[in-house]
Structure 1
Amino acid sequence: MIKRTAIVAVFGLIALGTSAFADDGKDESGKGKQRQEERSSYFHQHGHARIPNGHLPPPGECRIWYPDRPAGHQPPPFKCGEARGRVEPGGWLITPGSRPQEVEVSVYDPRRPGIVIDVGIFDARTGSMIRIVGTK
């Protein structure tokens, strides 16, 4: 009886110890609460698209914007169909939104070329964030 109790106690301690290594809010695939927070973290930290008036793309066109460069050093607007492969790491692709007063901003990963880490909808007049769309 004492051996059985000791064995159960040992297995209980092992089970408690292994749960300390589990990631809270994640399942076995690595998806879950923490991944959602990481995906949205860019716009939570940068809730304003600091693009000066007059530098948003004209209606029907797109623009690449690099937040670490001054406005005068940004690439010119272009036809949206020509965007593929043009955005350098850390850049934003600004495209027309579903409403005339909105723009969609796709943020590219600063370390992995071609990877969009977040997408947000911004008010074209004020630059204020309207909502986070997430990755596409």
Structure 2
Amino acid sequence: MGRDNTPLGRVLLVDDEAEVLAATTALLETRGWLVETGRSVSEALDLLRADAARFTVLIVDYLLNDGSGAELMARMKELGIKLPTIVCSGLDNHPTLASDIPPPHFLRKPYRLHELETALSSAIESNRG
């Protein structure tokens, strides 16, 4: 929470692994973020279409059951949704990962709290510029 006990913002967290959603949600909430979750590209798009402006940042796994984080980013662009986005993955050598996701918007799993906080700050800051 901020100094006046207000949330830092609202994160849309998208991952198809329940354990990752639970652990990352807990980390973010302890640092003062509100968190909404989705488990697929289609769920994320539904939440974003409903009211993308309520989100401060999107954190999405690279590989989901119904697509990829890169595909979600492309759909967001088509829909005119601009939202700082961090893509996470535990994959070391996926063939298109490096070209799909430019730094600083990529976070390798497993990540530590300080890495997550740095990625959040970088993504939000780069979106302002």
- Fold match (TM-score > 0.5): no
The alignment's TM-score, normalised by the length of structure 2, stands at 0.29
Q: Greater share of helix residues, 1 or 2?
A: 2
Determine which structure has more spread, i.e. the larger CA radius of gyration: 1
The alignment's TM-score, normalised by the length of structure 1, stands at 0.28
